[in-house]
């Protein structure tokens, strides 16, 4: 199984906090890879909050093609972060790991955020298409204030390889996952967390309804609903579809992926709405054992389970620093001195939502509504 940890805080944290939490849960994963998303960046990225950051890996030839492509597209580089790589025998080094900060093309600088997001996504997909066959260009995210790092290998060794232990890289939100997928060949595009236009998610599970969900998403005509090297990628795209495309509030994500039975809906005042949603978005109903941790563009983080809660998950911490994690030992490693009685083990109807900066923690229960545990 995958092991997941998400930390959301009102202070900038080192990504090592996430990696070390993965390490405490090491018995539960095979250490075959690591995926990191850092959001709300500090340190050297503090000055570039509104500039898009392209995260990826390139071969020498791929980097030349990428730079030329970005230049031709009108993106001008403002800053570049490169990890100070340290040789680790078990890690196979690739040519270039980078996070490049760009200035938008002139004609886009004054456009709406939505138009800018579409441009960034279109650019990332184009780069992916250029380099996908020979893996000369691998790009994970292209979005302001977000960096993604992914590689094959043990998370602790990878953090040493990337020099994260003494890096100045810091962020308020850390999403970390410690395994490569086992369903298919190892492919970095199949590695969690997944990201699209400000939305991200990672999953501990197996989505048995992947096929019909993938078909439905791909037939929406929405840019970016493609790839699907992992069955878990659809969770990020369902989130994006729910909030960005349809404009629904976050809690309806739960009602879409695990809709209530008709008899249960009668308890909700919004019975008529839920009935419509359930029928209309039926192909997005998930199945199988899944625990999903995600974030939205404003930095809200959440945890949600499949309709039977077949995978574990716990949320805990203190006001200002909350951790959403697949196993309690991971939580203990990040926030050992918390009030354990406030730990939340969300059940099948629950969705735990942590506000930006971990200022408030609320539980949305499909049957009973909101409960605030920390504010």
Site size toward another protein (CB under 8 A) is 43
Instruction: Choose which of 71, 186, 212, 298 interacts with another protein (CB under 8 A).
Output: 212
367 binds another protein (CB under 8 A): no
Smallest separation, CB 212 to another protein (Å)? 4
Starting at the earlier edge strand, list the strands of the sheet with 290-295. 194-196, 199-205, 290-295, 301-305, 350-354, 361-365, 369-374
Contacts of 299 (CB under 8 A, 6+ apart): 8, 39, 40, 172, 173, 356, 357
According to DSSP, the β-strands at 301-305 and 350-354 are: antiparallel
Give the whole-angstrom CA distance, residue 266 versus residue 271.
Answer: 6
The closest alpha carbon to 75, from 106, 118, 38, belongs to 106
219 binds another protein (CB under 8 A): yes
Smallest separation, CB 286 to another protein (Å)? 7
The closest alpha carbon to 146, from 49, 19, 7, 74, belongs to 49
Q: Which stretch binds another protein (CB under 8 A): 81-89, 145-153, 190-198, 204-212?
A: 204-212
Give the whole-angstrom CA distance, residue 353 versus residue 365.
Answer: 11
Q: Which stretch binds another protein (CB under 8 A): 88-96, 184-192, 265-273, 294-302?
A: 265-273
Smallest separation, CB 250 to another protein (Å)? 9
Smallest separation, CB 251 to another protein (Å)? 8
65 binds another protein (CB under 8 A): no
CA dihedral 330, 43, 34, 331 (to 10 degrees): 10
Inter-residue contact 36 to 111 (CB < 8 Å) = no
Smallest separation, CB 184 to another protein (Å)? 12
180 binds another protein (CB under 8 A): no
Q: Which stretch binds another protein (CB under 8 A): 4-12, 113-121, 124-132, 245-253?
A: 245-253
Give the whole-angstrom CA distance, residue 121 versus residue 233.
Answer: 16
Inter-residue contact 256 to 276 (CB < 8 Å) = no
Q: Max alpha carbon distance in the chain (Å)?
A: 60
CB atoms within 10 A of CB 247: 7
Inter-residue contact 254 to 277 (CB < 8 Å) = no
Q: Which stretch binds another protein (CB under 8 A): 4-12, 83-91, 219-227, 324-332?
A: 219-227
The 8 Å CB, 24+ separation contacts for 260-265 are 260/349, 260/366, 260/367, 264/366, 264/367
Instruction: Choose which of 97, 98, 143, 252 interacts with another protein (CB under 8 A).
Output: 252
247 binds another protein (CB under 8 A): yes
Q: What is the CA radius of gyration of the chain?
A: 20
276 binds another protein (CB under 8 A): yes
Instruction: Choose which of 18, 28, 62, 205 interacts with another protein (CB under 8 A).
Output: 205
Give the whole-angstrom CA distance, residue 291 versus residue 289.
Answer: 7
Smallest separation, CB 194 to another protein (Å)? 18
Smallest separation, CB 168 to another protein (Å)? 38
221 binds another protein (CB under 8 A): yes
Instruction: Choose which of 267, 282, 347, 367 interacts with another protein (CB under 8 A).
Output: 282
183 binds another protein (CB under 8 A): yes
Smallest separation, CB 154 to another protein (Å)? 20
Nearer to another protein, 70 or 257 (CB): 257
Instruction: Choose which of 112, 261, 341, 375 interacts with another protein (CB under 8 A).
Output: 261
CB atoms within 10 A of CB 368: 12
Region 285-314 residues binding another protein, contact defined as CB under 8 A:
285-289, 306-308, 310
375 binds another protein (CB under 8 A): no
Interface residues with another protein (CB under 8 A) are: 1, 182-183, 205-206, 208-212, 215-216, 219-221, 246-249, 252, 258-259, 261-262, 270, 272-273, 276-277, 279-283, 285-289, 306-308, 310
């Amino acid at each position: 199984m995958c092991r997941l940890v998400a930390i959301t805080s009102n202070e900038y944290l080192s990504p090592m906090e996430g990696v070390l939490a993965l390490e405490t849960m090491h018995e539960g994963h095979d250490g075959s890879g690591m995926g990191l998303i850092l959001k709300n960046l500090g340190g050297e990225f503090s000055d570039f909050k509104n500039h898009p950051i392209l995260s990826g890996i390139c071969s020498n030839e791929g980097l030349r093609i990428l730079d030329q492509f970005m230049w031709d597209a009108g993106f001008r580089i403002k800053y570049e972060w490169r990890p100070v790589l340290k040789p680790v025998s078990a890690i196979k080094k690739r040519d270039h790991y980078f996070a490049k900060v760009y200035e938008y093309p002139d004609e886009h600088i004054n456009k709406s955020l939505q138009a800018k997001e579409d441009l960034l996504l279109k650019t990332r997909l184009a780069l992916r298409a250029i380099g996908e066959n020979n893996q000369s260009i691998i790009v994970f995210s292209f979005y302001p204030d977000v960096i993604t790092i992914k590689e094959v290998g043990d998370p602790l060794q990878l953090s040493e390889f990337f020099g994260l232990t003494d890096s100045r890289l810091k962020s308020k939100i850390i999403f970390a996952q410690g395994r490569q997928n086992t369903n298919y060949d190892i492919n970095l595009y199949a590695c969690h967390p997944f990201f699209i236009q400000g939305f991200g998610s990672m999953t501990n599970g197996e989505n048995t309804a992947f096929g019909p969900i993938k078909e439905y998403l791909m037939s929406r005509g929405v840019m970016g609903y493609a790839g699907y090297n992992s069955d878990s990628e659809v969770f990020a795209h369902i989130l994006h579809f729910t909030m960005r495309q349809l404009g629904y509030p976050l809690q309806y994500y739960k009602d879409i992926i695990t809709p209530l039975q008709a008899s249960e809906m009668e308890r909700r005042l919004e019975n008529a709405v839920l009935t419509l949603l359930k029928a209309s978005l039926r192909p997005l109903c998930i199945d199988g054992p899944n625990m999903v941790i995600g974030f939205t563009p404003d930095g809200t983080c959440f945890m949600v389970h499949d309709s039977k809660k077949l995978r574990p998950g716990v949320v805990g911490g203190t006001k200002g620093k909350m951790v959403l994690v697949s196993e309690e030992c991971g939580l203990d490693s990040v926030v050992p001195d918390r009030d354990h009685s406030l730990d939340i083990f969300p059940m099948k109807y629950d969705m735990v939502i942590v506000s930006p900066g971990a200022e408030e923690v609320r539980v949305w229960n499909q049957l009973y509504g909101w409960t605030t545990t920390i504010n």
